[in-house]
């Protein structure tokens, strides 16, 4: 069984986290391949109504096109005061996909009249593993916290600068890579799916 695994995302921040977390879990035994090595692949339209549906859409397409095992995720920020929004629309909340600065600005503006006691939020990440033979596994991770009144910190990506993790006094964008991996939604989902990755790729030896 091939030990190759395609990371089905073009998000640079996600790619860094995927490689860091999966390399540590697999002890470097799995060759992680970026989709930039497959120029024929197109961006998958995220038409699902849930994080799981969107994660599976991307992983299924990548596995079918490359003939290799593929792992993807869909993740987002769910804010209590906004009824769970931006949710699956997190990456394009301000209109243009992946514009972190405008997404942050829109959320902060929407919450400008909301007091600290009502700024609860959580990140969700659903990781999906799809094998070329059709086998699939999914795993979910959550990261609880609140929304700050301004962006703080320059680590991480996405909404990290405005997210205060529960029980911490610094934003997610002020955490080191190791600290973030230990508590984040993506770290939790990838650690949960890792045993299935290892098993379905035939072990680490």
Residues involved in catalysis: 74
How many other C-beta atoms can be found within 10 angstroms of the C-beta atom of residue 20? 16
SS3 118: helix
Q: How far apart are CA 139 and CA 188, in angstroms?
A: 9
**Residue 138: both structure tokens together:** 């999914």
Q: Is 123 exposed, middle or buried (0-12, 13-18, 19+ CB in 10 A)?
A: buried
Question: Which of 189, 78, 65 is CA-nearest to residue 130?
Answer: 65
User: Which residues share a beta bridge with 138?
Assistant: 128
**Residue 151: both structure tokens together:** 């962006």
Q: Is 110 exposed, middle or buried (0-12, 13-18, 19+ CB in 10 A)?
A: middle
Task: Report the phi/psi class of residue 46: left, alpha or beta, with left for phi > 0 and alpha for psi in -120 to 50.
Answer: beta
Element (H, E) at 17: helix 12-26
């Amino acid at each position: 069984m091939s030990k190759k695994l395609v990371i089905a995302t073009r998000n640079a921040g996600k790619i860094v986290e995927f490689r860091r977390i999966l390399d540590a879990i697999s002890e470097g035994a799995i060759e992680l391949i970026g989709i930039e090595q497959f120029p024929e692949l197109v961006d998958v339209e995220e038409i699902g109504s849930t994080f799981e549906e969107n994660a599976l859409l991307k992983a299924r397409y990548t596995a079918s096109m490359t003939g290799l095992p593929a792992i993807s995720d869909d993740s987002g920020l769910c804010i209590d005061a906004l009824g769970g929004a931006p949710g699956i629309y997190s990456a394009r909340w301000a209109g243009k996909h992946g514009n972190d600065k405008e997404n942050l600005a829109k959320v902060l503006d929407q919450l400008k009249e909301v007091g600290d006691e009502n700024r609860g939020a959580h990140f969700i990440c659903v990781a999906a593993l799809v094998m070329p033979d059709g086998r699939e596994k999914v795993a979910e991770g959550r990261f609880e916290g609140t929304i700050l009144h301004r962006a703080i910190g320059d680590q991480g990506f996405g909404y990290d600068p405005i997210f205060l993790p529960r029980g911490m006094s610094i934003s997610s964008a002020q955490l080191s890579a190791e600290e973030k991996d230990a508590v984040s939604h993506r770290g939790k989902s990838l650690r949960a799916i890792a045993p299935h990755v290892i098993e379905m790729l035939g072990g680490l030896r």
